Amino acid sequence: MSVANTFSVTYSPAYTIVPTYECFNRCTYCNFRTNPGESPWMSLLAAETLLKRLQTKKVCEILILSGEVHPHSPQRQAWFQRIYDLCKLALTLGFLPHTNAGPLSFAEMEQLKSVNVSMGLMLEQLTPKLLETVHRYAPSKLPELRLQQLKWAGELQIPFTTGLLLGIGETFDDCWETLEAISNIHERYHHIQEVILQPHSPGNQQTFDAEAFDPNQLPKVIAKARQILPPDIIIQIPPNLVKDEQWLLACIEAGARDLGGIGPKDEVNPDYPHLQEQELRNILEPAGWKLLPRLPVYPQFDGWLSKELQGAVQRWR
């Protein structure tokens, strides 16, 4: 597994496991959630069967991506325990877990640190005006609550991924402010691996009535993000949401250097199938870019991991 250089673009060979699609938030652009009580939770037995099948595939990262159970719900502890147990199971079977399960308490983050090589949470946008529109029924999308996660991740020395969702009612100035907030926290803790710039892409489930984020604007946002963010933060874009090959190459020329986890399905954007490794090579290599696999933790953060996690990472390195 490699680290990007000037002429390379990275991706993580990944598979997404969803403990539950249930979520107490109702973001109007969401194409992932179900209502609480409407979908079964993934059992450990089902997960073990799945993971054992993946052991013969080129899968390194197991992304644990979950809908959110309310912090005061009587099911919160069982939900958290299921996430922890899934991470532990993935680790035991030789994979490297990365969890993104919405805002967590400090104690929950501290516990998950022992079974994850990295974690993540999208800031999306920090502008409070979205609480009156797309986030009106999404209590965990409070900007201060999500910023707190980035700070706690820094205090706990958790390698972290965050990002922006583009085209949900923000202005460009709002984007720059969110990027500056990420930059300021990173300069204090030096823990953010990647910032994802994810263009809103309409799906069949959402109620948000808006067009897709203008593709012509994405290279501009990437270039500005590259100016705002410290050079050690990698900019990531999801290639399945960048449908035109020339647009994808323009995004890379503008400063994006990672394509995220590539697996059989994009759970967050199920209407947009992932471009697979060979398809991406066919686009990138004629333009002079080398596509390299990477781990879900970057080498400079290995020393933050427990001895057990360091051993798991070294086997993949």
- Domain harbouring 72, CATH code: 3.20.20.70
Question: What's residue 239's pLDDT?
Answer: 95
Percentage of the chain surpassing pLDDT 90?
87
299, part of any domain: yes
Q: Which domain range does residue 264 map to? A: 8-316
Bigger pLDDT: 211 vs 192: 192
Beta partners for 199?
166
- Alpha-carbon distance of 5 to 1, in angstroms, equals 13
2, part of any domain: no
Number of structural domains (the chain) is 1
3, part of any domain: no
209, part of any domain: yes
Question: What's residue 270's pLDDT?
Answer: 85
- Alpha-carbon distance of 76 to 72, in angstroms, equals 7
Q: How confident is the model at residue 92 (pLDDT cuts 50, 70, 90)?
A: very high
Region 153-175 average pLDDT: 97
In order, the DSSP letters of 22-52 are B-S---TT-SS-B-TTSSPPPPHHHHHHHHH
How many residues would you count in the chain?
A: 317
Task: Say what the alpha-carbon torsion angle 205, 66, 162, 215 is, to the nearest 10 degrees.
Answer: -20
Amino acid at 156: L
Q: How confident is the model at residue 202 (pLDDT cuts 50, 70, 90)?
A: confident
138, part of any domain: yes
65, part of any domain: yes
Q: How confident is the model at residue 1 (pLDDT cuts 50, 70, 90)?
A: low
- Alpha-carbon distance of 148 to 144, in angstroms, equals 6
310, part of any domain: yes
**Nearest residue to 135 (alpha-carbon basis) of 49, 45, 28:** 28
- Alpha-carbon distance of 257 to 252, in angstroms, equals 6
Amino acid at 193: Q
100, part of any domain: yes
Q: Show contacts of 207-216: CB within 8 Å, 24+ apart.
A: 207/28, 208/27, 208/28, 208/29, 208/134, 208/168, 210/29, 210/167, 210/168, 210/169, 211/167, 212/167, 213/166, 213/167, 214/167, 215/242, 215/243, 215/244, 215/247, 216/247
Query: Do residues 61 and 13 lie in contact, with contact meaning Cβ atoms separated by under 8 Å?
Result: yes
